[in-house]
Amino acid sequence: MSDIIRIYHNTRCSKSRSACALLQDKGAELEIVEYLKRPPGRDELAGIVRKLGVPAESIVRKGEEVYKTEYQGRTLSEDEWLDALVRHPILIERPIAVRGGRAVIGRPPENVLALLEDA
């Protein structure tokens, strides 16, 4: 398993900042991806969703204005949700931490510590 934890991070999000701090306090080596500045591509997103073991719709931030205006009440396929997340990275839940073949959503931030188990 890779020792580096990649964390999809938004510096303006307190939960995201907390997750980074928790991992750093434990001595984890982080690769911080500010996903609003460098959005993940479709294949990368599909890989994240696969590692999370959830459908793409479950990582959609439904409080965002773009969700409310363009997607609320619509039924989209997995591919359509991935396309929406690529088109509007603000919709991607944060933080998401990935290590090797595993990923977790850092809500609450302590969830990211699961990636340190079996290290």
96-119 confidence digits (pLDDT tens)? 999 999 999 999 999 999 999 865
- At 40-67, the pLDDT tens digits run 999 999 999 999 999 999 999 999 999 9
Residue 119: the pLDDT is 55
Domains of the chain listed by start with CATH number: 4-116 (3.40.30.10)
DSSP the chain: --SEEEEEE-TT-HHHHHHHHHHHHTT-EEEEEETTTS---HHHHHHHHHHHTS-GGGGB-TTSHHHHHHTTT----HHHHHHHHHH-GGGB-S-EEEETTEEEE-SSGGGGGGGGTT-
Which residues does the annotation mark as catalytic?
13
pLDDT higher than 80, residue 15: yes
Chain segment 25-45, per-residue pLDDT in tens:
999 999 999 999 999 999 999
Query: What pLDDT, on the 0 to 100 scale, is given for residue 117?
Result: 86
